[in-house]
Amino acid sequence: MSLPACPQCNSEYVYEDQSMLICPECAHEWNPNEEVVDEDALILKDANGNLLAEGDKVTLAKDLKVKGSSQVLKVGTKATIKRFVDGDHDIDCKVDGAGDMMLKSKFVKKA
């Protein structure tokens, strides 16, 4: 019987202890029957506390000035989330009428 490699360090020296698998090299323990959760994944919420996902349609919750321009994005402007990024502006999206932009999740509402 072959056991899977350690998900943390990819060590092949994994052993079984009751229902858990244990890696002797990095001391990582996991249950092979449980769903794997990516702890590094970004979890973002909109202005109302709803979870956001890539590909969601959102609307702006307040007027936003576009930096380096005299343009103002009005409340209710629609956008589509392309991806999440680390940083102050955590959503990379395509805003209707303005093109690709970076927005903060606290200024959008899920449509």
Looking up residue 62, the CATH number of its domain turns out to be 2.30.30.40
Looking up residue 20, the CATH number of its domain turns out to be 2.20.25.10
Task: State the pLDDT at residue 40.
Answer: 61
Closest CA to 17 of 7, 3, 38: 3
Tell me the CA distances in angstroms from 69 to 11, 65, 72, one per residue in order: 53, 8, 8
Q: Are residues 56 and 88 in the same domain?
A: yes
Task: State the pLDDT at residue 1.
Answer: 57
Task: State the pLDDT at residue 34.
Answer: 79
Per-residue pLDDT tens digits of the chain, which is 111 residues long: 588 999 889 999 999 999 899 999 999 999 988 776 665 667 899 999 999 999 999 999 999 999 888 999 999 999 999 999 988 899 999 999 999 999 999 999 998
Task: State the pLDDT at residue 86.
Answer: 87
Q: Are residues 49 and 99 in the same domain?
A: yes
What global pTM score does this model have?
0.64
Question: 10 Å Cβ neighbour count for 92?
Answer: 16
Q: How many domains does the chain have?
A: 2
* DSSP assignment string, 62-105: S-EEPTTSS-EEPTT-EEEEEEE-SSSS-EEEEETTTEEEEE-G
Q: Are residues 66 and 87 in the same domain?
A: yes
Tokens 């009005």 sit on residue: 74
> In terms of residue numbers, what domain contains 12?
1-34
